[in-house]
Amino acid sequence: MKLLALVVFALLAWSRPVAAQAPAAALAAYRASLEARVQQYYADLARRLREAYFASSDGRAIALLSTAVDEFGARRRALRQELGQLRPPLATAPDADWTREQQAVLSSPAAVKMAERAARNPALETALNRFNAAQLEVLVPTEQP
């Protein structure tokens, strides 16, 4: 009987650290998954920005910009909700690839042409203004004083 009690005690003592590690491992996996989804968000946003600026027609650019506001707005809301529940918070600043890609697009000849195209086409100008106003690159809003 003493042997059985000793074995049970040993098993209970051994299982506590493992049980405590399980939530920590699950949280680490969840954080890694969320971080990957945040980075994928920025990669997809950079690709859409490039597609819109290099679109062959105004109609295609309008469609890309308009759907980007809706699609990425929904993705951003979902990510914000998940990020808001995470403690400690996850860093959500755009990565260097996003910044580099955005700068490359905005400094390209296509950006100059986009400004000219928008000046000639009010629908494109509206879509571009709506896209810029959405600030899709900002996942977590900055605190207002």
pTM: 0.77
> Residue by residue, what is the 3-state secondary structure of the chain?
CHHHHHHHHHHHHHHHHHHHHHHHHHHHHHHHHHHHHHHHHHHHHHHHHHHHHCCCCHHHHHHHHHHHHHHHHHHHHHHHHHHHHCCCCCCCCCCHHHHHHHHHHHCCHHHHHHHHHHHHCHHHHHHHHHHHHHCCCCCCCCCCC
Q: What is the pLDDT of residue 143?
A: 54
Q: What is the pLDDT of residue 21?
A: 56
Q: What is the pLDDT of residue 139?
A: 82
Q: What is the pLDDT of residues 44-54, one digit of tens each?
A: 999 999 999 99
Residues of the chain where predicted confidence (pLDDT) is lower than 50: 18-20, 144-145
